[in-house]
Structure 1
Amino acid sequence: MVETRHVLATQAGALEFLWNEGNLRAVKFDGVEILRGLSAPVRDAGWGTVGEAVISNEVEAAGNRWRARCVSRLSGIDAEKTVTIEIVKKGDAAEIVARFALQANEPFESNRAGFCVLHPLEGVRGTPVEVIHSDGTTEAVRFPETIMPGQPIFDILGLRSNIFGVKTDFRFQGEIFEMEDQRNWSDASYKTYCRPLAMPLPIRIAPGTNLTQTITITLSGDAGAGGPAVRETSKSVRLPGIRLAVEPQWLAQPPVATDGFTIRAGTQIEWSDADFARLKDVIGRDGAFDLELAVADPESEIAAIASRLAAHGLTPEQVVALPLAYMKSFQPSGPWPDPPGPEDTARIAAQAFPRSRIGVGMLTNFTEFNRCPPPAGIGDFVTYSTTAIVHAADDRSVLETLEALPDIFASAANLSGSRPQRLGLVTIPMRSNPYGPGLVEPDPSARTYITMTDRDPRHAGPLGAIFAAAAVIEAADAGVQSLCLAAPSGPFGLTDERGHPTPLSRLISALGRFDTGELTLARHGAHECVLSDSTRSLTVRKNPDDPVLVIRDGNDEETIR
């Protein structure tokens, strides 16, 4: 998609925004971001985003008015979607009117069809918001500080708030809207969306249906004295352990040394005796490995895997075991799967692996960890994973997820108490899909990135290394004990299609040469951070318009962009 930047001047300051074929992004009023995004995706019955082919994308600008209209046809469905955005400056104020229309010519099922508003974190997190409900009543609440597992606000007709002096007024028509804390899925935003999750899903859209919605946003005020402060900080941190995730089909000798391996096995991931023998060769005689288990019958399967590992002379240092049913996502209110639950499998694992430390948590995303947190007093550590492409897959959205990682680590620490965080894969691609029937298979002919797939080419490219470096720095800042950045081979591997080490492989190699003691972490503004010891440094610039990673080792320097 072609992304274009636009500016409208008002008496209070400039209104800046990005437009890319039906999506309004990065809206700033007088230099303050007041809207992270406004889009109208159509989700299928498995929560996948339905593809679109743009028919027309018209933009007009004249005087105090800017207007765009994008018409697209849904992929594989005879339906047409139109998004119209009109922005008008009115003295020291501005008004944004967004209209959505969906014309269906054949029946199809959808979990969501309509506007999603993304509110930014900076200047919004923890601040007051006035909610106008559909019956006309108002309610004074706050945007959540700690990540909420469920929806913080329901039944939304309007929202009024103040972001660094800019007054915002949102009005919604055509559907019932509610809000969720998108940091649960690593998105750096709060999302106001339709349709309420408590309503039956999916909905069946009949032929001849014409869905329409309107959102009106009024902006006013002066941010001149209250904009976000520029951060210049420095502190001492320690690097987390860098590990590789392993399944049988990913077994290979990695091109770089790491701090160990995290093995996954269970009902749906079977290891043969030959696989265990290869594993022993890969990790070496004294190789460290953790074990993750997802099993349908915990009593018999955990004991059987423990016995087979012992027969091969393999003893995991850490073990996490979950019922297989918990590889899917559930709303905080349930209903939850029948017993045995996570606490039961943790106790069974402790009996089967008496020499190992036992972990608790989830083998999917932070979302599920936050919705089913491990109770105090159980487990020696906690675990979960993150992925950058649950809701959006463009480069800007992927980089924006890095802004949510500090909140994720902090919220997890609140739930974990003194138990350290030892994380699974923290990557751009998705390892498994808790929200639908499975991972999305990319279309080789498509020129766009997709959500909810394990095959994202950026993992092997420059952005994969930039993303991983930023994630490691945020993990170090939060005191995370370890995390997985890749696998020895496969879609999360460390070599490209020609067998050459990827930029991420070179990053992991560089991290291995840093001092093992305290390092210095310096932050320069919102987007730049530098991790250094006496002779080496990593500089990461997370600016979505020009992301860069600079690796310096003595007099040697490599720039990745």
Structure 2
Amino acid sequence: MPDTGGADELAWGDRESAEPWHDLALGRWSARLTARGIEDVRLDGRRVLTRVLHTVRATDWSTERAALAYTLAPPGRDGPAATFTARYPGHGLDLRGEIRAVPDGFDVVFESRPAGPRTVRVNRVGPAVLHPGDQAGRPVRGHPGGLPAGFAFPRHVARSPVFAAGARMELGLAPTGVVLELDGGEFEVEDHRDWSDDGFKTYTPPLAAPRPIVLRPGDVLRHRLRITAAPGRSSPAGARPRRPDEATPAGVMPPLGLQHSGGALPPAALAAVAELRPAFLHLTTDLAHPRWRDLLAADATAARALDVPVVLTLVADPTDPGPAAELPGLLDGRLTTVLAFDTGTARTSAALVRALRPRLGAGVTIGGGSRAHLAALLAAPPVDELDVVTFPIASCAHDVDRAAVRSSLDSHPAVLAAATELAGGRPLLVGPVGHLPYWDSWGAATPGPAYGWGPGLARQRSVFHAAWTVAALAGFAAAGVARVSLCHTTGLRGVGEPAGDVFAAYPVWFALRELAGTAGWRRLPGATPPGTTGLRLRGPAGGLDLLACLADDPPAGGFPPTAEVLHAVAGTLRREPARTAGTPTPCVVVDRQPRGGQP
């Protein structure tokens, strides 16, 4: 068995860093003040907003992040309950603001101004509000002008923007509605689920507004949000797609493949990856690279050593894909599926698919769609030309904190439903699946491949990541996904990394080893134990319950006494019986039933 390596607890990503935060209470309202913004906004204990934040987007749409610093007023003192400041050095921009109690709510004021003598030009500057995904299906009333009678946050993933917010929005939440008054600019609302974020976002200015925004020395751009309880109005709870930890339809476990980090695998890494029994190896090649043949031949040695089929992401110019005819031979006949994308884009064109078909032959299926996010898949892919529809899922499209990564799972039912509908009966290949986007859709003047943000990398080495992966797979099985392409074989995005003559396995390796050989197993419907999400599988060899606990607090009901628990203690990975491990979190719970045992 591979060595588990060693790391301190923070490096494993199982706890947040000790960043400063403050709890704020204003009558019926409460929130947590963090460097990212005003988070977890609650009315009478119920979460109504995920976050109120300040955003700055450059003229190339890249985001500059700044940490908010707070000063809290002593209790009972008149004036603001808290003030905050931030500095955006890349733009020479200062932010000052305050939070002030008002009857049955509070105001948040943001003042943005140049910090020095230069003129600031940006595409976006101002507040944004993140709404939780459980508001899908709930009514929204807009003023002035209003929205159509019966208008609601969409249940199904919508192309953005969804609607203009106006100066006032009344959110029909249960049991008490919430009113947002928006001052200082025009606002609109978009569906964030097409980025695998759970929920919706209100922001300013609208995407169609003239840009850039120009702030000269001495200018002050002032925005005010007033957040109050709606007087005497309530709304029944609306339905939303269910999480896999609730009762879900029965499905089957899809085949799981791995991305390949490139080249031949060292012996210890090869043995470790072989234990996972991947259904396929997912390679990537760009026909514009001068050494693409040599690189692909080196990658093919890993597929040959593992004796598995190849799925190939192919980047090509639709006007000159001639060398694609060499691919089946270069891959020793292992090539089963090509996922085709046009050079310089995250999408597939009909022209490219048509050009590839005669070159690849009848034995290779051709897929495509998006190599960015669901948002790109929804932009009219050539579905009629495709055999397979594909798109990736990344939990860290906008944020990398634990709460954002965990809540991304709540977006998956709606995301998979939208992709399934678009595919029109064609099989879905979901992947890569993980935390870091593989395509930079927003952070540069010229979008292109992305290799991730530093803060997200520790997640890959964590039990938290292993649990997140198990929870994601539960949703894929329930939704009928045909194939899943997971993390890499080795490295920062991998299941582990070579360390001399051994392979240092990440916790996700141990979770995936439990699933080796379970493709096609039946997924039992029904709820998992409270506080967990996961898979209950039954197959010819017996049964497997593989459960994930991602909560900050351990589940009250405990785990099955026959189970084993995979968790980290002070950076050391442990697997021990549930009766001695207790209920640690995060963790992965493994409970096997022998053939003929009770379901």
| TM-score when normalising by structure 2 | 0.79
SS at match of 2:567: strand
Which residue number in structure 1 is paired with residue 326 of structure 2? 307
Equivalent position of 1:116 in the other structure: 128
Please give the alpha-carbon distance, in whole angstroms, between the structure 1 residues aligned to 2:458 and 2:555: 17
Report if aligned partners of 2:281, 2:309 keep a CA contact under 8 Å in 1.
yes
Shift of 1:166: 1.3
What secondary structure, in the 3-state scheme, does the structure 2 residue paired with 1:414 have?
helix
1:517 is aligned to 2:529: no
SS at match of 2:443: coil
Q: Compute the displacement of 1:251 (Å).
A: 6.5
Q: 1:241 to 1:154 in 2, by over 3 A?
A: same
2:120–2:215 Cα contact (<8 Å) kept: yes
* 1:169 and 2:147 are equivalent in the alignment: no
Equivalent in 366, 370, 373 of residue 358 of structure 1: 366
Deviations 1:129-160 (A, max 9, x none): 11124xx5554422112111121102521111
Corresponding residue pairs, total: 526
Please tell me whether residue 493 in structure 1 is matched to residue 494 in structure 2.
yes
- 1:62-96 CA-partner distances (Å, limit 9, x unpaired): 499982221122233432212322244x4xxx212
Is 1:323 matched up with 2:324? no
Partner of 1:193: 203
SS in structure 2 opposite 1:327?
Answer: coil
Give 1:185 deviation, angstroms: 0.8
Deviation of the 1:275 alpha carbon: 2.9
How far the C-alpha of 1:100 sits from its partner, in A, is 0.4
1:472 CA displacement: 0.9
Kindly report which structure 2 residues correspond to 1:174-185, keeping only aligned pairs within 5 A, or say none.
Answer: 174-185=184-195
The residue type equivalent to 2:250 in the other structure is S
Using a 3 Å threshold, how does the CA distance of structure 1 residues 107 and 440 change in structure 2: closer, same or farther?
farther
Pick aligned residue for 1:287 from 308, 318, 337: 308
User: 1:431 deviation in Å?
Assistant: 1.3
For 1:79-98, list aligned pairs within 5 A: 79-88=93-102, 90=103, 94-98=104-108
How far does the alpha carbon of each residue in 1:309-338 deviate from its partner, in whole angstroms, 9 at most, with x for none?
A: 41452441111212124327xxxxxxxxxx
Give the share of equivalent positions with the same residue, in percent. Answer: 21
In 2, Cα distance between equivalents of 1:72 and 1:440: 31
Matches within 5 A, 1:366-515: 366-375=374-383, 377-437=384-444, 456-496=457-497, 498=499, 499-512=503-516, 514=518
Question: For residues 386 and 45 of structure 1, what CA distance do their matches in structure 2 show?
Answer: 27
* Alpha-carbon distance in structure 1 between the residues aligned to 2:250 and 2:86: 51
Residue 2 (str. 1) matches residue 9 (str. 2) = no
1:76, 1:382 → 2: CA distance? 40
User: Residue 399 of structure 1 contacts residue 544 of structure 1 at CA under 8 Å; is this kept in 2?
Assistant: no
Residue 252 of structure 2: aligned partner: 238
Are the structure 2 counterparts of residues 222 and 466 from structure 1 closer, same or farther at C-alpha, using a change threshold of 3 Å? farther
Give the TM-score normalised by structure 1.
0.84
CA distance in 1, matches of 2:429, 2:217: 50
Deviations 1:87-143 (A, max 9, x none): 44x4xxx21211101121233332221111111221x2122211124xx55544221
Which of 281, 290, 297 aligns to 1:261? It is 281
1:321 alignment partner AA: A
Pairing 1:217-232 to 2, within 5 Å after superposition: 217-220=227-230, 232=246
SS at match of 1:183: helix
Higher alpha-carbon deviation: 175-184 or 285-294: 285-294
How far the C-alpha of 1:452 sits from its partner, in A, is: 5.6
Counterpart residue identity of residue 370, structure 1: L
Where relative contact order (Cα < 8 A, 6+ residues apart) is larger, the structure is 2
Specify whether residues 110 and 394 from structure 1 end up closer, same or farther in structure 2 by C-alpha distance, changes over 3 A only. farther
Following superposition, the deviation at residue 224 of structure 1 comes to: 10
* 1:524 CA drift (Å): 5.3
Could you say what the CA RMSD is over the residues aligned between the two structures, in angstroms? 3.4
Specify which of 33, 36, 41 is matched with residue 27 of structure 1: 41
Q: Structure 1 residues 522 and 47 mapped into 2: Cα distance closer, same or farther (>3 Å)? A: farther
Secondary structure of the structure 1 residue equivalent to 2:465: helix
Aligned position for 1:536: 544
Q: Which moved more, 1:69-78 or 1:172-181?
A: 69-78
What SS class does the counterpart of residue 353 from structure 2 fall into? helix
Contact residue 440 and residue 452 of structure 1 kept, 8 A: no
C-alpha distance after superposition, 1:516-544 (max 9, x if no partner): 42022543599632312354322223435
**Rounded Cα–Cα distance in structure 2 between residues aligned with 1:497 and 1:282:** 15
Residue 6 of structure 1, CA deviation:
4.3
CA contact (8 A) 1:521 1:530 kept: no
Deviation of 1:34 after TM superposition, in Å, equals: 1.4
More strand, by proportion: 1
Tell me, what secondary structure is at the counterpart of 1:306? helix
1:78/1:167 Cα in 2 relative to 1: closer, same or farther (>3 Å)? same
Amino acid at match of 1:293: L
2:176–2:235 CA contact under 8 A, matched in 1: no
What letter corresponds to residue 161 of structure 2 in structure 1? Q
Q: Distance in 2 between matches of 1:200 and 1:250?
A: 51
- Contact persistence 1:182–1:191 (CA under 8 A): yes
